[in-house]
Amino acid sequence: MKLQRVLVPAVTLLVILFSVNAVPARGAEQTETIKGYVIDSACTFVKNLKNPASPECAVACAKAGSPLVILAENGVIYWPISDATPATSQNGRLTEFAGKKVSVTGKVYSRGGSHAIVVGKIEAAPAGK
């Protein structure tokens, strides 16, 4: 009887612990608003641009297949991603803002030093801000 009083709670605890660990881990996520430029990813890295050369240049690069990214005011690069499976390119959503300053709100993920955002809302940033 004493063994049963100890064994049942112990087994229950083990089942709970194994159930929690069986849930797949996800990258840290939270909803944030990011302000920055929609810019060609290659130019951001290769040319170390702090802002786009021009909207026309960013659009041309996007049409050629280069992914657009959001270069935040603090220098962090956010890769716009889809949370759908299979994932889809976000260039279609971003092209009208290519080369322009924007305010983007969505779920932000960080993993291994990389940053990504599932764009919920995107709009041109007010002039001068």
Domain that includes residue 82, residue range: 26-124
CATH code of the domain containing 59: 2.40.50
**How much is the pLDDT for 18?**
43
Give the span between the Cα atoms of 1 and 46, in whole angstroms.
Answer: 71
Domain count, the chain: 1
* Two tokens, residue 111: 């993993």
Question: Residue 31: what pLDDT?
Answer: 93
The predicted-structure confidence for 16-34, as pLDDT tens digits, reads as follows: 434 433 333 445 578 999 9
Residue 20 lies in a domain: no
Write down the pLDDT at residue 53: 87
pLDDT over 70, % of the chain:
75
- Report the pLDDT value the prediction gives residue 2, as an integer from 0 to 100: 60
What confidence score (pLDDT) does residue 16 get?
43
Is position 74 within any domain? yes
CB 44 within 8 A of CB 71: yes
Q: What is the pLDDT of residue 126?
A: 80
Under-50 pLDDT residues of the chain: 3, 6-7, 10-26
**Cα–Cα distance measured from residue 33 to residue 15, given in angstroms and rounded to the nearest whole number:** 40
Q: What is the pLDDT of residue 43?
A: 87
- On whether residue 17 sits in a domain, the answer given is no
Evaluate whether residue 18 is within a structural domain.
no
